[in-house]
Amino acid sequence: MTTMTPMTTMTLDLKPNPELCSQTTKLVALAEFYTITNPEESVEASEFLARIQHLRRWIDGIYKDAKGPLATAKRTLDAQQKALLDPLAVAERTVMQRIVDYTRLQEQQRQRDALLVAERLAQADMIEHAPPLVMPVAVIMESVLAKGVQQRTNYAAKVENFRDLVLGIAAQIIVTEYEISAEMRVFLTEKFMPTQQCSLSMVEASIPTLNALARSLRNDLNIPGVTLEEKITLIAK
């Protein structure tokens, strides 16, 4: 067995820029004292807002440049990691599947042996004055896994038809929370086969899609359960 060599890790001692910290602290502190009660104060506040936005963009640019080499290094490390882990994952799945196949064959053979013994016992009961039967000694299956390795069965759900899932949830909500006719209840139950396991927790709204529709349609947005929110921002050029 190959012995794993202990690995060491590297860390970077990154300290914040004192000048950036000082300017940020001052602007944040000044922002707390701004009150607007007349047009002149509003203009002054908008000029202060421009200072904040300019500093924010300046900081973004500085850190973007600083993180450029790090991003390149991260992509390189990610590629190296993937090149090492992907083959290991394939090897892991291959060996695991072969072990599972072998244990499954062993279990099938054990079941066949048990069935054969049962058939022989049934035949013996039908024969009069038959000599005593010698019962086979139970065979204990030899362990096929290394010490510390356990076999587990994991279960996962797979959505075969998302539309059927949504219709089942909708039908379950209607038949349990709304007053409907017996005919409609039968129709929904037979058509969409809802169960008590169907709940809204299984699905979620796609916020990026809804936001894209809101930007495109604006006041024409018309989706049940969805409202249009307007957020005003000021941008200094």
Residue ranges per structural domain of the chain? 18-126, 170-202
> How many CA atoms within 13 Å lie on the side-chain side of 75?
5
Residue 145 pLDDT > 90, yes or no? Answer: no
Q: Which of the pair, 14 or 196, is modelled with greater confidence?
A: 196
Residue 167: band (very low, low, confident or very high) from pLDDT cuts 50, 70, 90: very high
Judged against a pLDDT cut of 90, whether residue 96 lies above it is answered with: no
Q: Indicate the range of 117-121, 137-141, 158-162, 191-195 predicted with least confidence.
A: 137-141
- Neighbouring residues of 237: CB distance < 8 A, sequence distance ≥ 6: none
Provide the 3-class DSSP secondary structure of residue 84.
helix
For the entire predicted model, the pTM comes to: 0.52
pLDDT in tens, 182-210: 999 899 999 999 998 988 888 989 999 99
Residue type, 127: I
Contact 180, 189 (CB under 8 A): no
